[in-house]
Amino acid sequence: MPLVELDKTITLALSVRDRHASARWYEEHLGFQLLIHIDEAGWSEMQTNTEGVTLGLGEQSEPVPGNTVPVFGVADIATARAALENANVQFDGDTETIEGMVSTATFYDPDGNALMLAQDLSH
């Protein structure tokens, strides 16, 4: 039995310079939907495409990207990567594949936060 019983939600908190601009970026590039801007708290939340998972954007004058790397599943990593690259999204190296398991590609948001695409190859 765990010490804490967690529910089926998670918020991934990222540090950003401009929450409003970042929210637009996540809407345009990944299809996330804005849930709320709480201007007095310097916080925004976005619904990701995964049930129970939200993205929190904490505004800081000098964001410090952390060690959290959200990984988002995609049906076709080559197509997803090409679409983001065509929108001038920066990737870190080539797509890596472990045959029969997964293909992954790391990319960055405008504040240098690392994000990853993953295609499940185990089926």
- What does the pLDDT read at residue 47? 97
Answer whether residue 48 is part of any domain: yes
Contact (CB, 8 A) for 106 and 91: yes
**What phi and psi, each to the nearest 5 degrees, are found at residue 43?**
-135, 140
Judge whether 57 lies within some domain.
yes
1-57 pLDDT, tens digit each: 776 676 788 889 898 999 999 999 999 999 999 999 999 889 999 999 999 999 999
How many structural domains compose the chain?
1
Full domain range(s) for residue 36: 10-120
pLDDT given for residue 67 in this prediction = 66
Q: What's the pTM?
A: 0.74
In a domain, 5, yes or no: no
Whichever domain contains 59, its CATH number is 3.10.180.10
Percent of the chain scoring above 70 in pLDDT = 95
CA distance 91 to 97: 15
The answer to whether residue 84 is domain-embedded is: yes
Q: pLDDT at position 123, please? A: 81
Q: Is 52 helix (H, G, I), strand (E, B) or coil?
A: coil
Residue 68 lies in a domain: yes
Domain assignment present for 17: yes
Whether residue 78 lies inside any domain: the answer is yes
Residues 102/26/82/92 CA torsion (nearest 10 deg): -60
Give the three-class secondary structure for 19: helix
Token pair for residue 106? 């790391």
